Structure formats: C-alpha cells, structure tokens
C-alpha cells in the first residue's frame, strides 16, 4: 500500500482532539503520517499536540502559525509542507473533530490508491447502509451552497464541503500553491482549481459517499457565518468563471 500524509488543522481543539484514537491509528499504520497545523490556539491544544508527537516522533509533526490564519490557510500551508517534507504519494486533510473517522478516511485512501485518479472527495449522503448524523441547519445551508455553486461553476459535485479529501502528490502545488480567496468556501475553490487545471472531474477524480459521519459539537461555523458565506459565493462567481468547457480563474 502506498503512503499517506494527513493534514489536521487545529484551532482551540483541546476538547475535541481524541488522543486515544490518534495514538491507536498511528500505532496500527506504518505507512501513515500526520501533520498537525496549530493555528494560533490559545487553549491547551499545543500541550495535547506535543504529547502526541512525543509518542510518535517519526510519524507526526506540528506546524505552528504565530497567529490565527484560518482553516483554509492552515490546510494550504500543511499540504505544501507535506509535499516538501516527504516522498509520500498521497496527501489529504481532515478535521480535528474526526467527524470522518480514521477508519473511513483509510477506506477513501484504499479506494484512490487502487486507481490512477488524481483525487478523491468524501461526500455526506444519507442513504441505506450509511450512518450520517448531521446538524439539520448545517445540512440545509450545505445543500443551498452546493446548488448555487453548481449553477455558477457548472460542476456536479454533491458535497464540496466534506472535510475528507485526498490528492496525489503531483497536483498539490497546482491546487494549493496560491492563497485561497475565500475563508469558508475554500473547498469549492479546490474543486474549481482542479477543473481549471485538469478538466473533466469524472476523468481525474472520485466523489465517494462516506459510510460514517458524526457531527461533533464545538464547530467554529456558526449560524451568523451564513451571511459571510453568501458573500463568498459572490467571490467564487467573480474569480472562477465558467466558460463552456473550462473555468477561467481571474
């Protein structure tokens, strides 16, 4: 099995980082490493991350932002650090709350590693055989965003916002090399950049429904942020324009 590097952005995650699960995952998998991006946390996140890296010094690293830069920039910096640091083939990111479990993330990794695809996105679809537990209003706004973004970009991605994404090494710099123009919708920007660089998403990647997703309390996303997200949709419309067979990045 090829190797996998996972980026986990962390901002004040002392109550949501599950040390036991992280230690178990790292102990059982020799082909996996984790880069934690500590985004200027002011709680005990640093101490928790230091303990994890002490237990697994060869499999973990902490990348610290002097001040808070946000999830989008933390993920971007983590991905760039990951490809610079290692010869790992696959690089992905997930949230610190592990709403997507390590087991499910491994399943996504196994799927893409068995193909020549450039990326795989997790997708939260409630269906028979899947255990998807989501906050109703967040699910509602997520569907609105997906519908509007689909209209703007003309791309049929069901769930751009699912925080379980894995990429092959060779596309990282093309997708993450430049700063994102949005804070909350950077996942949608990732999709736009892939389409701009590589064309038809069906040929270059996979959107795979996750079998488990559990909403964890403590999310940084609040109801009031919905208005900021609406503004960012306008930003997407401004900078990522659909033009017949491609997206023009302004």
Q: What is the pTM of this model?
A: 0.91
pLDDT at 219: 60
> If 0-12 CB within 10 Å is exposed, 13-18 middle and 19+ buried, where does residue 116 land?
exposed
Alpha-carbon distance of 133 to 128, in angstroms, equals: 13
pLDDT at 245: 54
Q: Quickly count: other Cβ atoms within 10 Å of residue 243's Cβ.
A: 8
Beta-carbon contacts of 4 under 8 Å, excluding residues fewer than 6 positions away, are 31, 32, 33, 88, 89, 90, 91, 92, 109, 166
Beta-carbon contacts of 119 under 8 Å, excluding residues fewer than 6 positions away, are 112, 165, 166, 167, 168, 171, 194, 204, 205, 206
**E strand or H helix at 26, and its extent?**
helix 19-28
Chain CA centroid to CA 16, Å: 17
Q: Where are the domains of the chain?
A: 4-249
pLDDT at 134: 64
Which portions of the chain are predicted below pLDDT 50? Answer: none
Contact predicate 218/16, CB 8 Å = yes
pLDDT at 86: 76
* Domain with residues 4-249, CATH architecture: Alpha-Beta Complex (3.90)
pLDDT in tens, 50-99: 999 999 999 999 999 999 999 999 999 999 999 998 789 999 999 999 99
């Amino acid at each position: 099995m090829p190797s996998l590097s996972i980026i986990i952005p962390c901002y004040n995650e002392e109550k949501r980082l599950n040390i036991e699960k992280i230690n178990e995952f790292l102990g059982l998998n020799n082909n996996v490493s984790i880069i934690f991006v500590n985004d200027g946390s002011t709680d005990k996140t640093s101490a928790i991350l230091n303990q994890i890296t002490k237990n697994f010094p060869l499999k973990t690293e902490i990348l610290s932002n002097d001040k808070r830069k946000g999830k989008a920039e933390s993920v971007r910096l983590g991905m760039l650090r990951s490809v610079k640091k290692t010869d790992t083939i696959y690089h992905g990111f997930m949230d610190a709350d592990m709403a997507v479990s390590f087991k499910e993330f491994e399943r996504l990794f196994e799927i893409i590693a068995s193909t020549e695809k450039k990326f795989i996105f997790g997708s939260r679809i409630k269906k028979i055989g899947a255990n998807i537990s989501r906050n109703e209003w967040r699910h509602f706004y997520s569907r609105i965003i997906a519908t509007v973004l689909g209209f703007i970009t003309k791309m049929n991605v069901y769930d751009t916002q699912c925080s379980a994404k894995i990429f092959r090494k060779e596309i990282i710099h093309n997708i993450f090399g430049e700063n994102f123009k949005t804070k909350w919708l950077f996942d949608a920007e990732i999709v736009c950049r892939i389409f701009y660089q590589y064309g038809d998403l069906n040929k270059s990647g996979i959107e795979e429904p996750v079998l488990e997703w559990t909403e964890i309390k403590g999310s940084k996303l609040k109801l009031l942020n919905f208005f900021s997200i609406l503004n960012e949709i306008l930003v997407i419309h401004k900078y990522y324009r659909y033009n017949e067979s491609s997206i023009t990045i302004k």
